[in-house]
Amino acid sequence: MRLILLLIFILAASLALAVAFGETPLSVAQYAQAIVHPATAVGEILWGLRAPRAVAAALVGAELGLAGAVMQGLLRNPLADPGVLGVSAFAALGAATIIALGLAKTPGVIELAAMSGALAAGAIVAILAGRLREPETLILFGVALSALGGAATALAFNLSPSLITTSEMMNWLLGSTAGRGWGDIGAAAVPTLLGAGLCAYAARGLSMLTLGEEAAALSGLPMARLRAAAVAGAALLTGAAVAMAGVIGFVGLAAPHLVRGSVSDDPAKTLAPSALAGASLLVLADLAARMIPTAEELKLGVVTALFGAPLFALLAWRASRSWRA
Amino acid sequence: MTPALELADVGVILGGRPVLTGASLVAVPGEVLGVVGANGAGKTTLLRAALGLAKLETGDAWLGGRPVDRLSEIERAGLAGYLPQERRIAWNMPAWRIAALGAPHLSPREAHQRALAALADMGVGGLAERGVRDMSGGERAKVLIARLLVTGAPLLVADEPAAGLDPQAALTVMEVLKTKAEAGAAVVATLHDLTLAARHCDRLAVMSAGRIVAIAPPTEALAPAVLAEAFGLDGELIATPSGWVVAARRLA
């Protein structure tokens, strides 16, 4: 509980920073004005632009942190992330296809396509997860699905009708929360809550899987249902994250590791802290993306990858030592 | 008395090869039934078939008098606890949490108490807070047996509970299982150490090439003819002042 409170405090502080700082420097008087009169131009910068963007980043980070913790628990693998079973690749494929077809102008269509792609892949994986109990086999199928999704996305690039659509696709796939408003956050609420609910339901099954499939099968828990719920929940969350902000790597991988030691490694108890940690990570990464002075704003997916890749290497190094034990 | 476990003419095929043929077996409350046999004789498959984890090609399996394939997960867990041979534990959880996984339907408080008691039974009560991946293999094995005890099931099925343990730890395991049997549980355990099996089991099922070739009290089950057939050993069971010893002179 202390950990949860600490993480909530860190998230609140991160959100406050993200609302307070941005490209437009403001004076103390302007901050005061924005707080007292939200309906002014300065108020609009804080509450209409920065705040929803920060909350969107927090939501995506929480979705990825939770989905990552679920995947690591389900697959009993510290290197699993929300994309490991091909869900992100198919979400990206859904979005890229819509852009390539020139349908991106209609509001909400890209998001819907990303979500549909995630759910399609999630359904395939959920069916497989019911049959293939060994996590290694599931991971192999996930690698195959990811490769297929990636190849089909490359095909969409290849067949892209114009440079403009190609650049649109590229922009979208690199991941960003720029321009996200309160409406987008509201639209993401349903899949997020549903996904989180499924993950919470699956939590005790994840702890039980620590003992391996055979012991879990005789534990008295409805493992087939819990496993399917874990996959479906993670797919919904990952789909919602990709629909909101494109493909953002490493948050879902890193967040569970940041908190695991504080919850005695129990997969069920990793879920909520991992979601909170993921939220803070992405809010701060998004703030960095906005504040690092480059000609064009850095993409959020690029920032997380730049910081995340070295972390991934470090995790792999440390994990390899515990595997030898 | 309803048998805790019953197999009738059970056959299992894995990868096109029959690994269990015509196996019939009954385990009753109050006894420790040992399952012995050479590597690959079908001991683990026998246990998995009895628990509904392996597909039966022929025959039937019952737990507590009910067909195993018609039990819900929770009913099955209420009738049998299982310690698989696989001892890998994915995460470095404290020992008491691992042991408490034996009782997922109890309140956390009750599960915690049962876990501490079972760890103490296994002689690792002092390690309750230690991460299981920071333990030796033997300590980890004891924690996993504690998890089996926490289930409180009327049938305890253990696949190689004493494998890889030092003599003292192996004795502890057998003593604890014996105590559970005396308290009314049925215990079925596969064992490699024939002397351990002879001393601590009420009956032994001897397996060879997927068949049960003998089910009897140890003195009969480990008769020279059976040792030759099932293990390829020229040997015998010898009474010593400290109990039975299986002595092998040479390969049969």
The Cβ of residue B252 has, within 10 Å, a number of other Cβ atoms equal to: 14
Residue B176, pLDDT > 90, answer yes
The interface residues of chain B toward chain A in range 21-40, judged by CB-CB distance below 8 A, are none
pLDDT of residue A320: 66
B42 Cβ neighbours under 8 A, 6+ residues apart: B12, B19, B20, B23, B207, B209, B210, B211
Decide if A170 contacts A91 (C-beta within 8 A). Answer: no
Interface of A with B (CB under 8 A): 76, 204, 207-212, 214-215, 217-223, 260, 264-267, 322, 325
Q: How far apart are CA A129 and CA B88, in angstroms?
A: 20
Between the two ends of chain B, the Cα-to-Cα distance in Å is 40
Q: How confident is the model at residue B161 (pLDDT cuts 50, 70, 90)?
A: very high
Q: What is the mean pLDDT of residues B184-190?
A: 97
The pLDDT of B159-168, averaged and rounded, is: 92
Alpha helices for chain B (secondary structure H): 43-50, 73-79, 95-100, 108-121, 137-150, 167-182, 194-200, 218-221, 224-226
**Domains in chain A, CATH or no CATH each:** 2-324 (1.10.3470.10)
- Indicate if the pLDDT at residue B250 is higher than 90: no
Instruction: Looking at the complex, report in whole angstroms how far the Cα of residue B180 sits from the nearest Cα belonging to chain A.
Output: 19
Residue A28: predicted pLDDT: 84
Write out pLDDT tens, residues B55-103: 999 999 999 999 999 999 999 999 999 999 988 999 999 999 999 999 9
Tell me, what's the pLDDT at A25?
Answer: 80
Chain A: residue whose CA lies nearest to B44? A214
DSSP state of B51: T
Residue of B nearest to A211 (CA): B89
**Among A210, A213, A271, the residue to mutate for chain B (most B Cβ within 10 A):** A210
Would the CB atoms of B105 and A220 count as touching at under 8 Å?
A: yes
Collect all residues of chain A within an 8 Å Cβ-Cβ radius of residue B76. Answer: 218, 220
In this complex, the residue of A207, A214, A265 whose CB is nearest that of residue B101 is: A207
Q: Which of A210, A218, A219 sits opposite B91 (nearest CB)?
A: A210
Backbone angles phi, psi at A122, to 5 degrees: -60, -40
Dihedral-angle region of residue B218 (phi above 0 means left; psi in -120 to 50 means alpha; beta otherwise): alpha
Q: How far apart are CA B242 and CA B220, in angstroms?
A: 19
- Residue A42: the pLDDT is 84
Coil, helix or strand at residue B5: strand
In this prediction, residue B52 has a pLDDT band, given cuts at 50, 70 and 90, of very high
CA distance A204 to chain B (A): 8
Asked if residue A116 lies in contact with residue A94, where contact means CB atoms within 8 angstroms, the answer is yes
Residue type, B211: R
Please tell me chain A's helix, strand, coil percentages from 3-state DSSP, rounded to the nearest 5: 80, 0, 20
Q: Could you give the CA distance from residue B34 to residue B189 in angstroms, rounded to a whole number?
A: 5
Q: What is the DSSP string of A244-311?
A: HH----SHHHHHHHHHHGGGTT-HHHHHHHHHHHHHHHHHHHHHHHHHS--SSPPPHHHHHHHHHHHH
Please answer whether residues B63 and B80 qualify as being in contact, where contact means their C-beta atoms are separated by less than 8 angstroms.
yes
Are B252 and B228 contacting, i.e. CB atoms less than 8 angstroms apart? yes
Instruction: Name which of A212, A222, A265 is nearest B88 (Cβ-Cβ).
Output: A212
Across chain A, what does the average pLDDT equal? 90
Q: Is the pLDDT of residue A173 over 90?
A: no
How many other CB atoms sit within 10 Å of the CB of residue A314? 12
Q: Across residues A219-230, what is the average pLDDT?
A: 92
| Window 140-159 of B, Cβ < 8 Å to A | 144, 147
Q: How far apart are CA B186 and CA B29, in angstroms?
A: 4
How many angstroms away from the CA of A31 is the closest CA of chain B?
47
CB A139 within 8 A of CB A76: no
How far apart (Å, rounded) are the C-alpha atoms in residues A305 and B115?
Answer: 43
Would the CB atoms of B89 and A210 count as touching at under 8 Å?
A: yes
The Cα B90–Cα A88 span in angstroms is 25
Residue A160's pLDDT band, with cuts at 50, 70 and 90, is: confident
Sign of the Cα torsion A271, A277, A281, A286 reads positive
What does the pLDDT look like over A23-76, one tens digit per residue?
Answer: 778 888 888 888 888 888 888 888 889 999 999 999 999 999 999 999 999 999
With tokens 């960095």, the residue in question is A288
Q: Of all helices (H) and strands (E), which one includes residue A173?
A: helix A163-174
Q: Is the ipTM of this complex over 0.90?
A: yes
The predicted pLDDT at position B35 comes to: 97
> Does residue A325 register a pLDDT over 70?
no
Its CATH class, for the domain covering B5-80+153-251, is: alpha beta
Which pLDDT band, with edges at 50, 70 and 90, does B190 fall under? very high
- CA dihedral over B42, B43, B47, B53, signed as positive or negative: negative
Measured in whole angstroms, how far is the alpha carbon of residue B131 from the centre of its chain?
Answer: 25
β-pairing, B243-251 with B81-83?
unpaired
Contacts of A4-13 with C-beta under 8 Å, sequence gap 24+, read A4/A272, A4/A273, A4/A276, A7/A259, A7/A273, A7/A276, A7/A277, A7/A280, A8/A276, A10/A276, A10/A280, A11/A58, A11/A276, A11/A279, A11/A280, A11/A283
Residues of A in contact with B69 (CB under 8 A): none
Residues from chain A that touch B86, judged by Cβ atoms under 8 A, are 212, 214-215
**CB–CB of A135/A76 below 8 Å?**
yes
The reply to whether B136 touches chain A by the CB within 8 Å rule is no
Cβ proximity of A138 and A266 under 8 Å: no
Q: What is the mean pLDDT of residues A83-111?
A: 89
Cβ–Cβ of A211/B73 closer than 8 Å?
Answer: no
Inform me whether the pLDDT recorded for A102 exceeds 90. Answer: no
pLDDT band at A252 (very low <50, low <70, confident <90, very high): very high
What is the least distance, in Å, from the CA of A74 to any CA of chain B? 10
CA distance A15 to A58: 8
Q: What is the mean pLDDT of residues A214-218?
A: 93
Q: Is the pLDDT assigned to residue A123 strictly greater than 50?
A: yes
Of A215, A267, A325, the CB nearest to B91: A267
For β-strands B58-63 and B66-67, DSSP reports them as antiparallel
What is the reported pLDDT for A324?
Answer: 47
Element at B249 (helix H, strand E): strand B243-251
Per-domain residue ranges for chain B? 5-80+153-251, 90-152
Structural contact between residues A300 and A289, judged by C-beta atoms closer than 8 angstroms = yes
Assess contact for A43 and A33: CB atoms under 8 A. yes
Paired tokens of A150:
């990636």
Prediction pTM value: 0.92
pLDDT digits (tens, 9 = 90+) for B118-151: 999 999 999 999 999 999 989 999 999 999 999 9
For every residue of A38-97, DSSP letters joined together read TTSHHHIIIIIIIHHHHHHHHHHHHHHHHHHHHHHHHHT-TT--TTTTSHHHHHHHHHHH
Rounded to the nearest 5°, which phi and psi values hold at A192? -65, -45
Instruction: pLDDT band for A319, please (50, 70, 90 cuts).
Output: low
